[in-house]
Amino acid sequence: DVCSSDLALQGRRDILQEVLKRLEQELVKVNFDIDIASYQKEIEALLVYCNKLQKKEEELKRELVRLYNARAVVDAQITVTTAAARELGNDYKYATEQIEEDQVECPMCGTVHTNSFAERFAIARDTQRCKELLAELRSDMSSLEDEINKLRDGYSSTEADLAEAKTLLNQK
């Protein structure tokens, strides 16, 4: 029985040695030829690309901040102009509907103003100027919103490209 177990072990050893011999032959065929200079160039190119994308991202951020600030200014101007137009409209209505005299005293400061056709016409003209200015400001706001959306899309695209480049760098 010892002989048969010895023969079984000998057979397993022969099989394992044959498998080992085949693996060694296969490993000799595998070529791990790495061109270090080429690899370094790839890494350098990726780093240059990442730096370029980071600079572009920073430029887009600065431009977005500038546009957001411009939008805030235009929004404030719309608010002021809307309030002025409303006040002028109220003044015109008051001057034409509630005052029949040729003069009116300011309830705030006591100054006496004439209530002539010329004065009422000036109020109407100022109201119209406010309406024209509001139309212009709203157009400016629309243009700013379009620019902001365009830049935001560009920023998102650049951010995605940068993330992809960084992932490639981390894989290398």
First to last CA, the chain: 58
SS3 state of residue 35? coil
d(CA 167, CA 172): 9
pTM: 0.64
Tokens for 44?
Answer: 């350098």
Model pLDDT for residues 85-97, shown as the tens digit of each residue: 999 998 888 888 8
Residues in the chain: 172
Phi, psi of 150 (to 5 degrees): -65, -45
Model pLDDT for residues 52-82, shown as the tens digit of each residue: 989 999 999 999 999 999 999 999 999 999 9
